[in-house]
Structure 1
Amino acid sequence: MAPDTPDEQRGGVDDASVSGDAASPLVDRWTALDRGWQALALGLAVVAVHLAAQLVGLLPAAPR
Protein backbone atom coordinates (compact mmCIF):
# COMPACT_ATOMS: atom_id res chain seq x y z
CA MET A 1 0.00 0.00 0.00
CA ALA A 2 1.34 3.44 -0.96
CA PRO A 3 1.99 6.07 1.72
CA ASP A 4 -0.85 8.58 2.00
CA THR A 5 0.77 11.69 3.40
CA PRO A 6 4.00 13.48 2.44
CA ASP A 7 5.39 12.66 5.90
CA GLU A 8 4.83 8.95 5.29
CA GLN A 9 6.42 9.25 1.85
CA ARG A 10 9.57 10.68 3.43
CA GLY A 11 9.74 7.92 6.00
CA GLY A 12 7.87 9.71 8.77
CA VAL A 13 10.07 12.83 8.91
CA ASP A 14 8.08 16.00 9.36
CA ASP A 15 9.04 19.34 7.81
CA ALA A 16 9.41 21.11 11.14
CA SER A 17 12.17 18.81 12.35
CA VAL A 18 14.07 18.85 9.06
CA SER A 19 13.80 22.33 7.64
CA GLY A 20 12.67 24.54 10.52
CA ASP A 21 11.13 27.96 10.06
CA ALA A 22 14.23 29.66 8.61
CA ALA A 23 15.03 27.06 5.95
CA SER A 24 16.07 28.14 2.49
CA PRO A 25 14.02 27.23 -0.57
CA LEU A 26 16.82 24.85 -1.61
CA VAL A 27 16.51 22.92 1.66
CA ASP A 28 12.74 22.76 1.26
CA ARG A 29 13.07 21.37 -2.27
CA TRP A 30 15.73 18.86 -1.19
CA THR A 31 13.65 17.50 1.69
CA ALA A 32 10.60 17.24 -0.56
CA LEU A 33 12.43 14.87 -2.93
CA ASP A 34 12.00 11.14 -2.68
CA ARG A 35 15.04 9.32 -1.25
CA GLY A 36 15.75 7.70 -4.61
CA TRP A 37 15.92 11.07 -6.34
CA GLN A 38 18.13 12.39 -3.53
CA ALA A 39 20.52 9.48 -4.04
CA LEU A 40 20.57 10.03 -7.80
CA ALA A 41 21.21 13.76 -7.46
CA LEU A 42 23.98 13.22 -4.91
CA GLY A 43 25.63 10.55 -7.06
CA LEU A 44 25.54 12.74 -10.15
CA ALA A 45 27.00 15.64 -8.16
CA VAL A 46 29.89 13.46 -6.93
CA VAL A 47 30.61 12.29 -10.49
CA ALA A 48 30.48 15.87 -11.80
CA VAL A 49 32.88 17.13 -9.12
CA HIS A 50 35.27 14.25 -9.79
CA LEU A 51 35.18 14.90 -13.55
CA ALA A 52 35.76 18.63 -13.04
CA ALA A 53 38.70 17.90 -10.72
CA GLN A 54 40.22 15.62 -13.36
CA LEU A 55 39.78 18.24 -16.08
CA VAL A 56 41.46 20.89 -13.95
CA GLY A 57 44.29 18.49 -13.13
CA LEU A 58 43.70 18.03 -9.41
CA LEU A 59 43.15 14.28 -9.75
CA PRO A 60 45.05 11.92 -12.01
CA ALA A 61 43.15 10.19 -14.80
CA ALA A 62 42.50 6.46 -14.58
CA PRO A 63 45.50 4.33 -15.60
CA ARG A 64 45.35 2.63 -18.99
Structure 2
Amino acid sequence: MTGDAADGPRAAGEGADDAGNRATDADDARGTGSPIVDRWTALDRGWQALALGLGIVAAHLAGQAAGVF
Protein backbone atom coordinates (compact mmCIF):
# COMPACT_ATOMS: atom_id res chain seq x y z
CA MET A 1 0.00 0.00 0.00
CA THR A 2 1.32 3.45 -0.79
CA GLY A 3 0.89 6.64 1.18
CA ASP A 4 -1.22 9.56 0.01
CA ALA A 5 -0.04 13.11 -0.34
CA ALA A 6 -2.40 13.90 2.55
CA ASP A 7 -0.34 11.64 4.81
CA GLY A 8 2.41 14.24 4.87
CA PRO A 9 6.13 13.73 4.59
CA ARG A 10 7.61 10.52 5.89
CA ALA A 11 10.04 10.53 8.75
CA ALA A 12 13.28 8.62 8.38
CA GLY A 13 12.76 4.91 8.96
CA GLU A 14 9.02 4.87 8.27
CA GLY A 15 7.73 2.33 5.79
CA ALA A 16 5.35 3.18 2.97
CA ASP A 17 2.52 1.19 4.53
CA ASP A 18 2.36 3.23 7.75
CA ALA A 19 3.39 6.68 6.58
CA GLY A 20 1.61 9.37 8.53
CA ASN A 21 -0.30 6.91 10.72
CA ARG A 22 2.26 6.50 13.46
CA ALA A 23 1.50 8.43 16.65
CA THR A 24 4.27 10.60 18.03
CA ASP A 25 5.54 10.56 21.59
CA ALA A 26 3.84 13.91 22.20
CA ASP A 27 0.48 12.41 21.21
CA ASP A 28 1.00 9.45 23.55
CA ALA A 29 1.93 11.67 26.49
CA ARG A 30 -1.21 13.75 26.15
CA GLY A 31 -4.09 12.24 28.13
CA THR A 32 -7.61 13.47 27.52
CA GLY A 33 -9.06 12.08 30.72
CA SER A 34 -11.60 10.03 28.78
CA PRO A 35 -10.77 6.39 28.07
CA ILE A 36 -13.11 6.36 25.06
CA VAL A 37 -11.37 9.34 23.47
CA ASP A 38 -7.94 7.87 24.23
CA ARG A 39 -8.92 4.57 22.58
CA TRP A 40 -10.38 6.40 19.54
CA THR A 41 -7.25 8.49 19.01
CA ALA A 42 -5.06 5.38 19.38
CA LEU A 43 -6.80 3.72 16.41
CA ASP A 44 -5.35 3.87 12.93
CA ARG A 45 -7.21 6.19 10.55
CA GLY A 46 -8.46 3.25 8.51
CA TRP A 47 -10.13 1.67 11.53
CA GLN A 48 -11.58 5.05 12.52
CA ALA A 49 -13.08 5.42 9.04
CA LEU A 50 -14.52 1.90 9.16
CA ALA A 51 -16.06 2.45 12.61
CA LEU A 52 -17.51 5.81 11.56
CA GLY A 53 -18.97 4.35 8.37
CA LEU A 54 -20.54 1.43 10.21
CA GLY A 55 -21.98 3.85 12.78
CA ILE A 56 -23.57 5.95 10.04
CA VAL A 57 -25.06 2.85 8.37
CA ALA A 58 -26.40 1.63 11.74
CA ALA A 59 -27.96 5.03 12.47
CA HIS A 60 -29.58 5.10 9.03
CA LEU A 61 -30.99 1.59 9.45
CA ALA A 62 -32.32 2.48 12.91
CA GLY A 63 -33.93 5.60 11.45
CA GLN A 64 -35.55 3.57 8.69
CA ALA A 65 -36.84 1.02 11.19
CA ALA A 66 -38.32 3.83 13.28
CA GLY A 67 -39.91 5.43 10.21
CA VAL A 68 -37.82 8.61 10.37
CA PHE A 69 -36.09 8.19 6.99
Please give the TM-score of this superposition, normalised by the length of structure 2: 0.60
Q: Which residue is equivalent to 1:56?
A: 66
Q: Which residue is equivalent to 1:14?
A: 27
Q: Which residue is equivalent to 2:41?
A: 31
Instruction: Return 5+ residue gaps in structure 1 as ranges.
Output: 60-64
Q: Percent identity?
A: 58
1:2 and 2:12 correspond: no
Instruction: Return 5+ residue gaps in structure 2 as ranges.
Output: 1-13
Please give the TM-score of this superposition, normalised by the length of structure 1: 0.65
Number of residue equivalences = 50
| Poorly superposed stretches of 4+, deviation over 4 Å | none
Q: In the TM superposition, what whole-angstrom CA distance separates every residue of 1:1-36 from its partner, at most 9, and x where no partner exists?
A: 439xxxx613x57142xx43xx21100100100000
SS at match of 1:27: helix
